[in-house]
Amino acid sequence: MKKVKYISLILAVIIIGSCHKLDVPPLSIISESQVFSTANGIQAYLANMYTFLPMEDFVYEPDKGFLTGDGGRWQNFYQMDAIDGEMAGPYGGVGDAAQGFGLWPYDRIRNINVLLYSLPKYASNYTQDQVNEWLGEAYFCRAYTYFALVKRYGGVPIVRTVIDPNATTASLQVPRNTEEDVYNFIGSDLDSAYNLMWEPGAGGHPAIQQGAASKYAAMAYKSRVMLFAGSIAKYGAVNYVDGDARAKGFAGGIPAGDATKFFQAAYDAAKLVEGHFSLYTGGYPDKVQNYVDVFMKPNNEQIFIRQYSLSDPQRNNDNSGPHSYDATMTCRYMTADGLSRTYPSLDYVERFGPLPIVNTDGTPTRFSDRADLMNSLEPRLLATIYFPGSTLRGLTFDVQRGIYKTFNGSAAQELSNNLNTPNDVNTNWPDTTDPGKNLLFAANSNQLYRGRRIVGLAGWNPSTGDDNTRTGLYLRKYVDYAKQQSACGLYQSAQSYIDMRYAEVLLNRAEAAFELGTLQADALGDINQLRDRAGAAPATASMTIDTIRNERCKELGFEHQYWWDIRRWRTADQVLDNRKIYALLPYYIATENKYIFLKQVEPFQRTYTFQKKWYYEPLPGGELSRNPNLFPNNPGY
């Protein structure tokens, strides 16, 4: 009896309790209304959008992607410029990274679409200007993300709405749009951003915020994107890999006749930026220091940047933690930790003209001091590269490949007689006591010949592998010269990455103007603004498209642009065709107490070859198996 009483009591409690419906908002999930009904919520949402923009910044690795985690994030020498011949770096060849890493940021695109869809529902909480500004930023971020996709894959699915994940599978399998459609879509998103966003600094609106987009940033990017589209329309029409995806307009196949439309759009967009940003000249009259500070000091040339924070402990989950550029671009001898593995090529330096290292009679020019080589060079070049004999943090770039007891004859003869098998030279350390040897190398920089180091402290030093320059050169651009050596450790750098600066807008404008064929004078003016700031001689009206391209490569060197440039010009398979990278290696001549420089293939003798199918990356295999509407894959894959 007692049992029955208890059981019925328990049952009654359960039955009555079951009538309560559990309908309270979950505490662990932030709802849409919580985010979009306050300005703080929206700004946090936007900050998240910005930090996940697929920006090829200091920590980006072309074969691994944007968030490489604690183990990869510090290795800033795994950079794009090391696969395209601009630098000699850790990659064994172009193929190490040419097929990308399967970027597919539709989760980020969805986040952006959520804001575009939901924010208008809460518009009454804000002024119309404020709502438009935020929507403009979202359009900017969406365009930015789509450009990262289209320049890799060609046409990809355009998703403008917030797709319901419970919809039918067929409707979730969004088909590929054509490459041209994607470019037009990006153009219209950037136009939307421009039209919606307010005039910074006018009508009571705040000035441009560092790290955030503005309406003029939208136009700066539009000039980049439209120039890209125009170039592949024009040059992709003659140099391509045939296949289904090309025939259907997914990868290549934009009609060459549409190039003009895109070049015009690039030019118009670049022109709109004029007057709102300017080339930095705040460090004049010293044009070298001025150019160095373009990258080190906040200034009005920087249109869109990514900022880093030393105090951010997050190294795996977002992009705002510190990076390690100072610890990884200069040899350990000058830093507190880490190592360097990537070095500017002599090929880059020769874009500025041949170096004065060989006399007219073919003999190597003698220098009393290695630093004297720099006497006649362009300020911009000196601000971009640390040459042998220059100084940083009170230390000299002591670069020396070896010692000649005596040196007779021409440079070319010496290279073909004694230096034509550099691989042997690397592994076979001559006995320095052998009186028969004229050319001395050493395994490390402690070995002395008559009290003088045989190889320099800063390279090239075989015992440290590639933690010493393989090319005789070190990168200066973006390296923080004001930092103490002890502060140059891993994750101790926070200088901003400049993703867009006004110099590029001028170069986009000049190239588009020249390609249009009717605005040569405009192009010349743009180039000469850059030349003047660089401390170079002005270009003349006989300028060609190659002059403009070379100017671009000089000005934007080591800013992760060259890879995309040779792809859109469709020249990558020619400039990277069994290509070797050259080095500028200093030697000391003992009998003369002088230095010479020899132009040699860098000691690792790596070969760089670009296959034509790499003008497009393969679509990620996982996505293809989920969505058959992505087929056909790009030609050659």
Partner 1 sequence: MKKIIIFGLGLLLTGVSCTKVDNYPGPDSAFQGNIIDSVTGKNLLTESQGLNIELKQLSWSDNPDPYYIPVKDDGSFQDTRIFSGHYSVIPTQGAFWPADSIVTDIKGAAAHNFTVVPYLEITNFTHVQAGDSLVMTCQISAPRTAGLPQILEVWPFVNNTPFVGSGAYISQLTISDHNSPSYNLADINSTWNNGIATTTYKVSVHGLLNGRTYYARVGVRVNDSYKKYNLSEVVQVVMPPEK
Binding site residues, partner 1, CB under 8 A: 240-242, 412, 416, 420-421, 573, 577-580, 582, 601, 605, 607, 611-613, 621, 624, 628, 631-633, 635-637
Give the nearer residue to partner 1 in terms of CB position, either 369 or 577: 577
437: Cβ contacts below 8 Å, ≥ 6 apart: 405, 430, 431
By beta-carbon proximity to partner 1, the closer residue of 359 and 421 is: 421
Query: What is the nearest approach in angstroms of partner 1 to the Cβ of residue 628?
Result: 5
Nearest to 512 by CA among 215, 268, 302, 299: 268
Judged by beta carbon, residue 429 or residue 631, the one nearer partner 1 is: 631
Tell the smallest beta-carbon distance from residue 202 to partner 1 (Å).
52
Nearer to partner 1, 224 or 613 (CB): 613
The per-residue DSSP string of 45-64 comes to: HHHHHHHTS----TT-BTTT
Report the C-alpha dihedral over residues 388, 390, 392, 396, rounded to 10 degrees: 70
CB atoms inside a 10 Å sphere around CB 108: 19
Rounded to a whole number of angstroms, the minimum distance from the CB of residue 417 to partner 1 is 12
In this structure, the strands spanning 497-501 and 579-580 are: unpaired
C-beta of 47 vs 174, nearer to partner 1:
174
Write 148-151 long-range contacts (CB < 8 A, 24+).
148/54, 148/103, 148/105, 149/103, 149/104, 149/105, 149/182, 150/179, 150/182, 150/183, 150/186, 151/228, 151/564, 151/567, 151/568
DSSP result, 376-440:
GS-HHHHHHEE-TT-EETTEE--B--EEES---S-HHHHHHHHSS-HHHHHH----TT-TT-SEE
Report the residue number, 244 or 318, with the smaller CB distance to partner 1. Answer: 244
Decide whether 72 or 632 has the Cβ nearer to partner 1. 632
What's the min distance (Å) between Cβ of 92 and partner 1? 14
Amino acid at 397: F
Q: Which is nearer to partner 1, 72 or 422 (CB)?
A: 422
Between CA 282 and CA 264 the distance in angstroms is: 32
Q: Minimal distance in Å, beta carbon 612 to partner 1?
A: 5
Structure tokens at 590: 């003992």
Nearer to partner 1, 412 or 556 (CB): 412
Residue 7: CB partners within 8 Å, gap ≥ 6?
none
Query: Residue 339 CB, nearest distance to partner 1 (Å)?
Result: 28
Q: How far is the CB of 598 from partner 1 (least distance, A)?
A: 13
Question: Would you state the structure tokens that stand for residue 337, as one six-digit string?
Answer: 């930790």
**Least CB distance from residue 580 to partner 1, whole Å?**
5
Nearest-approach distance from CB 623 to partner 1, in angstroms = 12
Contact 182, 156 (CB under 8 A): yes
